[in-house]
Structure 1
Amino acid sequence: MKSLKLLFFAGLISLTACGPAEDDGKLVIGVTMLSMQNEFIVNVADEMQKKADEMGVKLITVDAERSALKQMEQVESFIAQGVDAIILNPCEVEASSPAVSRAIAAGIPIVNVNSETTAKPTAFVGSNDVESARIAMNYLAEKMNGKGNLVMIHGFMGQAAQIQREEGAKEILKAHPDMKLLAEQTGEWDRSKSMDLMQNWIQSYGDQIDAVFAHNDEMGMGAVKALQNAGMKDQVLVVSIDAIQDALQAVKKGELDATVFQNAREQGVAAVNTAVKLAQGQKTEEKILIPFQLVIKGNVDNFLK
């Protein structure tokens, strides 16, 4: 007996006895996203949908709600439906790896987008998160003249971007021994949690804090708000990653000192293009990397919509 979730999906895409791959003659791609509460992830999903519509491909997009277990169940459902390909935006490096392995074992090509897993997918589309942190931290090192104290707000622990952005940040810190890391903790990619975390650090360290590196803009904006509330923003640098619209506006206003642009459009488009090629039995590059770019007040207008 099929699960309710499988029945829901079956109804959603109007499966025939031939299976979804032959429904309306369209390719069907199952997509599971880390969290549709995260603006950047939503942007990637939107770009995937636009590209799929343009190509006449049917996407079934579901939200893993940050749960690797739920993501595994979603991939198993896609396998049961016989989709032509799967796009996975992994919740975690390790815990989402079994989902990749199951798809490969079932003979269904799987493309990881934006984030990596230990298990090797058919292809990966994203950006080098180590490099994003290098860009952010090099900017801080320049503005701080290579000395001072900073705090680091991590993303969701165990997720590839968190691991790699920490790696890149600590690489730059090692190269600048007079830059000291006062504290580091996860803000779970969340604005309000990061605001609370920053408030706690302000109480603990006060004017010892010279800079904040947040692993994404949601958390960077939370830190900015806490610093503004404490009347400290003018003396503390804040840099984050993704270049979501809120962050770009904050850079333009001088509230956020810099962000690092991650190209949601190119990631989404390349993920769908790659999945379609693989579903059609074509060869593709195993890794497609899209570069990051530093955004400051002087060039922010190039990135604003």
Structure 2
Amino acid sequence: MRKNRARKPAALAAAALLAVTGCSTGGGTSAASSGGGDQVPPTASAGELRDHALKSLQGKTAAFVPIGMGTPLMAEWSRQLQRGFEAAGMHYVLRDPNWDTAKQAEAVQSLINEKPAVLVVHNFDVQLLAKLIQQAQQAGIYVVQINMVSNYKSDAFVGADTIDLGRRIATDIVTQCGASTPTSHEVQIVQGDATSGFTLDVMAGAKQVFDQHPEIKIVSTQAANWDRTKAHDITATVIRQHPDLCASWGFWDQMQYGAATAIKEAGKLGQVKVFTSDHSNITCEGVRDGMFFESYGYSVPTQGADIVAIAKYLVQSGQAPGTARIADYTPLVKIDKANWNQPDTCYDGKNDGLTVR
């Protein structure tokens, strides 16, 4: 997701993990992880438990490979990961492929050779890193996927429940543009990358709603590949072809701001309600300024904290990478005129407790 809060304790993610990882789902190696250690017996003293935890983590490396830095979303993930891992005595490594799929695969392959204890990846699409994730686990590396899932499921996934996200926004679009409204019922959809896990699951959730409302006319479904300029140009064409458009829904606030700009240039803000997701300062400023009608945030700072908690559990657990498949879905929060300026509603990748004015 390119160029231009409800918080919950991260410990909840680790607690949920403790409840489910006793059952192996297979797919891993029997070799000991580079980050793992022997399990602590239930009769261990508090001091022994502490020593095990500290020694298991001290000096280990956690690496993050996003799809590309340069946006509040990537900056906030990296900020939370660096803060959490370094506080635990671990080394933090960031490898930025700068939105280049080949460079992302190269970065992951290089890290497999370096053998960090934990690898956090943000998948361009469902297939690109699938084999590399499996290779990493076979090499003894725990892999956590963030917000866009791969066809190959790693030790953990942390992110939005994108199927539910699709259902929620589609339901809100029906409320604004459905049969009971005096509108054209015409809706534009601006996808991210058409083969990303995020796009595929959001569309699956939306389909469950739109299939029950045949009055909704999807007049355009195009992929802007998370790019603001492309979203602008696509939408400028759509609004000329469909001047009575009721809603434009783009899957990421950074990208969808370009669509909103095209709608504003056409003099259609207000008539065309602009829907999106994420909750960076771009969302709050967009709602404040009337560019966005609503967005759904998915607790991005919490995602970073949850990844750290889950990774610390995995490293201490002594279990082999690939022996668990768990998911931690962070809370979805609707953002609109009623709450855009509340503390912790949005983030900017730099500050805690950001309040947009």
What is the TM-score when the length of structure 1 is the normalising length?
0.87
What's the counterpart of residue 63 of structure 2?
30
How far apart in 1 are the matches of 2:261 and 2:155? 41
Compare the two structures and name the one with the higher helix fraction.
Answer: 1
Deviations 1:81-109 (A, max 9, x none): 12112111111111221121111121211
Deviations 1:111-130 (A, max 9, x none): 11111111120111112111
What's the counterpart of residue 229 of structure 2?
192
How far apart in 1 are the matches of 2:272 and 2:318? 51
Q: Which moved more, 1:35-44 or 1:294-303?
A: 35-44
Is 1:175 the counterpart of 2:208? The answer is no
Alignment of 1:25-64 (within 5 A): 25-64=58-97
Alignment of 1:230-249 (within 5 A): 230-249=266-285
What's the counterpart of residue 118 of structure 1?
151
Contact 1:47 1:269 in 2 (8 A): yes
Is 1:274 the counterpart of 2:310? The answer is yes
Q: Aligned letter for 2:313?
A: K
Alignment of 1:262-301 (within 5 A): 262-281=298-317, 286-301=326-341
Instruction: Pick one of 182, 185, 202 that aligns with 1:165.
Output: 202
Deviations 1:46-84 (A, max 9, x none): 221122232222111112333443222212211221211
Q: Aligned letter for 2:335?
A: V
What's the counterpart of residue 25 of structure 2?
none
> What's the % identity of the aligned pairs?
21
Q: CA deviation at 1:196?
A: 1.0
Contact 1:34 1:65 in 2 (8 A): yes
Deviations 1:243-291 (A, max 9, x none): 1102112212332100001211111111122122212235687211112
How far apart in 1 are the matches of 2:253 and 2:241? 23
Q: Number of residue pairs matched?
A: 284
What's the counterpart of residue 82 of structure 1?
115
**Structure 2: runs of 5+ lacking an equivalent:** 1-33, 36-54, 347-353
Contact 2:178 2:215 in 1 (8 A): no
Instruction: Pick one of 192, 201, 208 that aligns with 1:155.
Output: 192
Q: Aligned letter for 1:132?
A: L
**Structure 1: runs of 5+ lacking an equivalent:** 1-19
Q: Aligned letter for 1:57?
A: M
How far apart in 2 are the matches of 1:66 and 1:220? 18
Greater RCO (CA < 8 Å, at least 6 residues apart): 2
How far apart in 2 are the matches of 1:141 and 1:25? 52
What's the counterpart of residue 16 of structure 2?
none
Q: Please provide the CA RMSD for this pair.
A: 2.1
Q: CA deviation at 1:210?
A: 0.9
Deviations 1:224-250 (A, max 9, x none): 110111111121111000011021122
Please give the secondary structure, in 2, of the residue aligned with 1:233: coil
What's the counterpart of residue 8 of structure 1?
none
How far apart in 2 are the matches of 1:236 and 1:91? 30
Contact 2:269 2:290 in 1 (8 A): no
Q: Aligned letter for 1:37?
A: G
